[in-house]
Amino acid sequence: MIEDYKNKGLLLLKKGQKGMIHAVFSRFGLILLLLILQVLFLFSIFQWFEEFLPHIFGGAVVLTFIMVIYLLNSKMNPTAKITWLIVIMLLPVFGVLLFLYTQSDIGHRILKARINYIITASKECIPQQEEVRQHLTKENPGVAALAHYMHRSGCHPVFENTAVTYFPLGEDKFEEMLKQLEAAKHFIFMEYFIVDEGLMWGRVLEILAKKAAQGVEVRVMYDGSCEFALLPRDYPRRLRALGIKCKVFAHVSPFVSTHYNYRDHRKILVIDGHTAFNGGVNLADEYINQKEKFGHWKDTAVMLKGDAVRSFTLMFLQMWGIDEIKEETVDFLSYPAYPVEKAKGYVIPYGDCPLDDDKLGERVYMDILNRSLSYVHIMTPYLILDGEMETALKFAAERGVEVVLVLPGIPDKAIPYALAKTHYASLLESGVKIYEYTPGFVHAKVFVSDQAEAVVGTINLDYRSLYHHFECATYLYRTDCIQEIEADFQSTLAKCRQVTTESVCREKWMVKLVGRLMKAVAPLM
């Protein structure tokens, strides 16, 4: 079987059909058509009742009043409240129905039940070592308090004995990733938001096929949004033909559902329980600058070796198991970790689930901002902030902390780019410094503060990452790579143009208009 893996791999590596023609004349064309028909049907209902609108106008006013009172007293994020108030006041009947539809969470109740079950069943798989907790409390009570909150919100213990390597570019991660995959002997777990056919995925897939033929357990999971434009619908079957287990998170289906809001945006690679990769880099050629897309692509990642890898193993198995039968539990103990001794610092891998009440990704960022004394340096591709995060950024700057944001110079999406600029004037007024990466697009998600702590992961500063996506990241305290992360930030900053109050005023009127109009519905995007 080992001898013929290349022939199978070559067959599999042939480009799948994709593009506009394939989208229109395929199963996905039918799905898209059905979705459009359902939306048109919903609108047609209101047209059928058009002749009765004068009679129910009074009822609509009362309904709007009731919904306004309800929203003002709800636990919803204040920025989201404003958005829904605007929608309901402009479109009383349709707005209320849309609100009730989205809040009912039709389409993912089963998903939520499965996730809650599997997280509850596996939350004790990695107990917090009391000795490590005590060491951290003695060294920094503030960080220890954050670690306590992170462990409370899920199975995210703090670890020592973990060596961390930082990669300032996707190319650097890719090179090391290939070496580590070649050395795999027991299992390979891969979970990525985007998988696209090309040089990067082709090289990885050849190794996966070879390892599967050698008896290594290989599992691959990617988000269902890939099925529309990037991969053929039958791709899991083609991978299974190579001995690779494959799952797609949240297949695209022909039914309108709130389920589409919740995407698996995580990027996790675990090898043999001793090595894990995390960061912003997906499995597509633009992430390693083999294909130019919005100029030079700036991305980052980390590699972990040691105790903390256990958390990424568990996170992968939790997500893998959400579509299994309810009685199954995570077989975590079958995949041990191998500690690395004499590694400095503390590491906390963590995941953020949109189906619970803990906005872990946002709160970790805010905690860093609130505890910072000297600086907080941030790289993010998107800046679509709620009131709390914007206040945290501004308050840190107003306290005298150097808060610097590095954003893309060449955007990948026009509307998020316009929305980001709506925050510029307010942030600059408080002393936040903003820079744009002139060579191209920044896809990195990095926080680094006071030469002591950092976060590298998948979590953007926008509503999708902070509220709607499954995300993951690696929190670092006093690890050796902190200085490298800060050095990379400074190197990136040298290639940026600074945003000033004057440059904000000179921005194109169309960008300003789009940003201000879309800000009203930003939480719904």
Question: Which CATH number goes with the domain that contains 244?
Answer: 3.30.870.10
pLDDT of residue 100: 76
Whether the Cβ atoms of residue 433 and residue 403 lie closer than 8 Å to each other: yes
| H/E run at residue 144 | helix 141-152
Shared-domain flag, residues 36 and 71: yes
pLDDT of residue 252: 65
166 lies in some domain: yes
Angle of CA points 259, 260, 264, to nearest 5°: 95
pLDDT of residue 392: 97
For 499-506, which contacts have Cβ atoms below 8 Å and span 24 or more sequence positions? 499/424, 499/428, 499/434, 499/435, 499/436, 500/428, 501/425, 501/428, 501/429, 504/421, 504/424, 504/425, 504/428
Half-sphere exposure of residue 371: CA atoms within 13 angstroms, side-chain side: 20
pLDDT of residue 85: 82
Shared-domain flag, residues 123 and 253: yes
Shared-domain flag, residues 304 and 391: no
What does the alpha-carbon distance between residue 510 and residue 7 come to, in Å, rounded to a whole number? Answer: 53
Shared-domain flag, residues 98 and 116: no
Shared-domain flag, residues 403 and 322: no
Shared-domain flag, residues 290 and 327: yes
Whether the Cβ atoms of residue 167 and residue 158 lie closer than 8 Å to each other: no
Angle of CA points 319, 308, 392, to nearest 5°: 80
What does the alpha-carbon distance between residue 191 and residue 281 come to, in Å, rounded to a whole number? Answer: 12
The domain tally of the chain equals 3
- Give the position of tokens 């695209």: 252
Shared-domain flag, residues 223 and 339: yes
Tens digit of pLDDT at every position of the chain (525 positions): 334 434 444 445 455 545 444 444 344 454 456 556 656 765 676 666 666 656 556 666 777 788 888 888 887 777 778 777 887 777 776 777 777 777 766 656 677 777 778 877 787 889 999 999 999 999 999 999 999 999 988 889 999 999 999 999 999 999 999 999 999 999 999 999 999 999 999 999 999 999 999 999 999 999 988 877 788 888 999 999 999 999 998 776 554 555 556 889 999 999 999 999 999 999 999 999 999 989 999 999 999 999 999 999 999 999 998 866 554 556 777 787 777 768 999 999 999 988 887 899 999 999 999 999 999 999 999 999 999 999 999 999 999 999 999 999 999 999 999 999 999 999 999 999 999 999 999 999 999 999 999 999 999 999 989 988 999 999 999 999 999 999 999 999 999 999 999 999 999 999 999 998 888 777 766
320 lies in some domain: yes
Whether the Cβ atoms of residue 226 and residue 220 lie closer than 8 Å to each other: no
Cα–chain-centroid distance for residue 243? Answer: 28
What does the alpha-carbon distance between residue 142 and residue 99 come to, in Å, rounded to a whole number? Answer: 39
Dihedrals phi, psi of 321, to nearest 5 degrees: -90, 0
pLDDT of residue 241: 96
Shared-domain flag, residues 414 and 315: no
5 lies in some domain: no
Cα distances (angstroms) measured from residue 522 to each of 4, 415, 448, 512, 525:
51, 10, 27, 15, 5
b/e per residue, 350-372, with b = 16+ CB within 10 A? bbbbbbeeebbbbbbbbbbbebb
What does the alpha-carbon distance between residue 519 and residue 404 come to, in Å, rounded to a whole number? Answer: 23
6 lies in some domain: no
Final residue belonging to a domain, choices 345, 376, 408: 345
Length of the chain, in residues:
525
Shared-domain flag, residues 408 and 440: yes
408 lies in some domain: yes
463 lies in some domain: yes
pLDDT of residue 400: 98
Q: Name the amino acid, one letter, at 374.
A: S
Final residue belonging to a domain, choices 310, 345, 380: 345
pLDDT of residue 214: 97
Shared-domain flag, residues 384 and 446: yes
The dihedral built from the CA positions of residue 43, 45, 47 and 52, taken in this order, carries a sign that is: negative
What does the alpha-carbon distance between residue 112 and residue 286 come to, in Å, rounded to a whole number? Answer: 33
Shared-domain flag, residues 100 and 115: no
What does the alpha-carbon distance between residue 160 and residue 490 come to, in Å, rounded to a whole number? Answer: 28
The boundaries of the domain holding residue 485 are 360-524
350 lies in some domain: no
The dihedral built from the CA positions of residue 201, 206, 207 and 212, taken in this order, carries a sign that is: positive
Whether the Cβ atoms of residue 352 and residue 361 lie closer than 8 Å to each other: yes
pLDDT of residue 10: 43
12 lies in some domain: no
Cα distances (angstroms) measured from residue 53 to each of 76, 88, 206, 489:
30, 16, 63, 58
Final residue belonging to a domain, choices 104, 125, 145: 104
- The pTM assigned to this predicted structure is 0.87
pLDDT of residue 54: 63
Shared-domain flag, residues 127 and 67: no
Whether the Cβ atoms of residue 402 and residue 478 lie closer than 8 Å to each other: no
What does the alpha-carbon distance between residue 65 and residue 47 come to, in Å, rounded to a whole number? Answer: 23
